[in-house]
Structures are given as C-alpha cells and as structure tokens.
C-alpha cells in the first residue's frame, strides 16, 4: 500500500541558560545589532529623514489691475511713463499717455482658477518720438492652498529693447514661482502679503525701479516671468499709438516644502522596517546555528511525548 504524508509539525528545542553567561551576552548583542543595525544602515544610505518633499499645484493668481509702463524713446532724457499709482503720476510731466488699457483673465478648464492674463496698452506718443525700449511692471495676488498655505503680492517684469523704432511689442510669458527656501507644511505664510511698491509714498525715491527690484529680489519666495517670447514690430505711422500686448500664463508649479512629523515618520518607518525584516531573518539563522552546534553554553531541553 502506498504511503503519503498526512500531516507534519515542527519540533521545538529549548535552550536554557543563566543570566550571567556568555549566552546572555550573545543574545543581548544579537538583539542590539538587529534593532540598531537597520537604523544605521538606513541613515548612512541617506534619505532616512525626509527633509523636503515636493508636490504639484496650480496657483490661484489674480491680476490686481496695477501696472507701471516705462517706454524709452530717442529722447533719452525724458522716458514716457504711465501707471495706476497716483503719487507716481504726479511726478510726471506728461500724463495720460496710456490712452487705452484692456485686460482680461481666462479659465480654460473651468476649475475655478484663472489660467492666463491678456493685457494690452495703447500709448499716445508724440509723432516725433521713436520707441526703442519697453519695461512693464505687473502686480499679482498669488495664493497656494493645497498643502502649503501661501498668500503674497508678487511682481512680473517684462523688459525689451531694440535698435529699430517700434510700432508695437507683443510678448508671451509664464508667471513662475521662485523659491529660495522650502515652504512650511500646513502653516499659513503671509510674510510677503504686502505691497511691493509703496503707493502711498510722496517721495520720488520710493519709485526707484532699481531699488524696488533689488528689494524684491531679496525675497525667499517670489515670482518672475519666464519662458518669454517677445516680438518687436517696427514701422509705426505718425498718427498710430504704440501698442504693448502681453499674454501671461499661470502654469502648474512644483512646490518644495518641509513635510510634517507623521509624513517624516511614515517615510522613515518604511525604510527601517524593510531592512529590519532582513536582519531578523539573518540573526535568526545565526542563532539557530550557534545553539544547534553548542557554540555557547546552554542546556538543551529535548521535547518528549507520552506513550499511550
């Protein structure tokens, strides 16, 4: 008659020893290496503590309908300037040069957040003046809400110059976030939610563009216009205004932030546990070999069964 394996079970051998013995020292060392070893290995391989993390978010951007337009002509001592700041306009000899300003923001995917800004300026320039350079300052309200909470007033600057006298200037650009340091996780950041340009000042030096940009560049979080595509058109007729047309996209950004405590622990625990399992298996095999070959002093207890 054929014989088959109907059932099987493990036989457990117990090894007993005293506290003050080399067996106890061996077990303590094995336990310490098993617990501490994975931590040291994960830490020394870098990335054990998650110091920074990134995520993707489209910012909530709102054009504040505040601008400064500076146009330089062949009369280098008298640049043409117009703005929405009354105190700045009071310093100007020529006013009302921006005869027409049109702007609109569009939300193409209907997600409640604006995707781009279209803005156009018509400048009434004296016939004898030829335009060679354009500078445009646009102010935005910039918000992040998904993981990091940030609200600030930001600036977009467009500059272009050409040797040929211009009839119009067209530009397409992206409003990009600039981070010099990570944002804080779930912490409301209002450090830069203040005016970039002091509109209430009555002193001309408060509207020094070089000083404004120098102070703005010191920010740890700011915006700039990138991916710029300018088109300069020459040949303006005597009775035609100079046109500035800009399209500013608000693209999705990669935000760098400092993760919270539980996210750090979750990341560290996964790395630690994956190495700990290997250490437990290896030292289990080592202890089996040591005790089965009596390499340390212990009393082996052999299981027995009652004979019926």
Q: What does the mean pLDDT of the chain come to? A: 88
For residues 275 and 130, membership in a common domain is answered with no
Q: Phi and psi dihedrals of 285, rounded to 5?
A: -70, -40
Phi/psi at 207 (5° precision)? -110, 25
**Which structural domain range is residue 236 located in?**
54-257
Judgement on whether residues 98 and 187 belong to the same structural domain of the protein: yes
Q: Give the Cα separation of 107 and 208 in Å (integer).
A: 35
Residue (of 130, 103, 89, 83) closest to 245 by Cα position: 103
* DSSP H or E stretch at residue 274: helix 261-292
176-234 per-position pLDDT tens digit? 999 999 999 989 999 999 999 888 777 777 788 888 999 999 999 999 999 999 999 98
Residue 230 in any domain: the answer is: yes
Residue 106 to residue 116: CA distance in whole angstroms: 6
Per-residue tokens: 205: 């030096």
Render pLDDT for 130-167 as a digit per residue (tens, 0 to 9).
Answer: 888 999 999 999 999 999 999 999 999 999 999 888 88
Same-domain check for residues 196 and 150:
yes
Whether residue 114 sits in one domain with residue 32? no
> Are residues 227 and 79 part of one domain?
yes
Ranges 35-39, 85-89, 124-128, 180-184: which has the least confidence: 124-128
Residues 46 and 128 occupy one common structural domain: no
In a domain, 2, yes or no: no
Q: Is residue 187 domain-resident? A: yes
| Residues 70, 180 within the same domain | yes
Do 189 and 148 contact (CB within 8 A), yes or no? Answer: yes
- Shared domain check, 115 and 155: yes
SS3 209: helix
Asked whether the beta carbons of 204 and 278 are under 8 A apart, the reply is no
State the total domains in the chain.
Answer: 2
Q: Are 212 and 197 in contact (CB under 8 A)?
A: yes
Interatomic CA distance for residues 95 and 73, integer angstroms: 16
Spatial CB neighbours of 196, under 8 Å, sequence gap ≥ 6? 139, 153, 154, 155, 212, 216
Q: What are phi and psi of 48, to 5 degrees?
A: -70, -50
Is the pLDDT at 82 greater than 90? The verdict is: no
Q: Binning pLDDT at 50, 70 and 90, where does residue 59 land?
A: very high
Give me the helix-helix angle, 22-44 and 261-292, nearest 10°.
140
Whether residue 107 is found in the same domain as residue 165: yes
Torsion of CA 169, 170, 174, 177, to 10 degrees: 20
């Amino acid at each position: 008659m054929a014989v088959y394996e109907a059932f099987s079970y493990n036989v457990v051998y117990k090894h007993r020893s005293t506290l003050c013995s080399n067996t106890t020292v061996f077990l303590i060392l094995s336990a310490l290496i098993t617990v501490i070893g994975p931590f040291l290995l994960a830490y020394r391989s870098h990335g054990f503590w998650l110091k920074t993390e990134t995520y993707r978010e489209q910012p909530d951007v709102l054009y504040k309908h505040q601008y400064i337009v500076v146009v330089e002509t062949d009369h280098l001592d008298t640049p043409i300037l117009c703005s929405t700041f009354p105190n700045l306009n009071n310093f100007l000899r020529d006013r009302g040069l921006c005869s027409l300003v049109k702007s609109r923001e569009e939300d193409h995917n209907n997600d409640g957040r604006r995707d781009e800004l279209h803005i156009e300026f018509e400048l009434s320039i004296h016939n004898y003046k030829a335009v060679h350079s354009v500078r445009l300052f646009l102010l935005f309200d910039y918000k992040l809400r998904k993981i990091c909470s940030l609200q600030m007033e930001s600036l977009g600057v467009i500059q272009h110059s050409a040797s040929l006298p211009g009839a119009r200037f067209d530009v397409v650009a992206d409003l990009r976030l600039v981070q010099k340091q990570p944002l804080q996780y779930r912490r409301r950041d209002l450090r830069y939610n203040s005016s970039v340009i002091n509109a209430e000042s009555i002193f001309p030096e408060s509207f020094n563009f070089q000083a404004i940009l120098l102070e703005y560049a010191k920010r740890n979080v700011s915006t700039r216009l990138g991916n710029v595509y300018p088109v300069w058109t020459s040949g303006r007729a005597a009775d035609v205004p100079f046109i500035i047309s800009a399209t500013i996209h608000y693209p999705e950004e990669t935000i760098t932030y400092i993760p919270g405590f539980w996210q750090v622990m979750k990341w560290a625990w996964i790395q630690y546990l994956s190495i700990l399992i290997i250490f437990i298996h290896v030292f289990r095999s080592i202890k089996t070999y040591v005790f089965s070959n009596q390499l340390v002093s212990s009393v082996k207890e052999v299981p027995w069964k009652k004979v019926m």
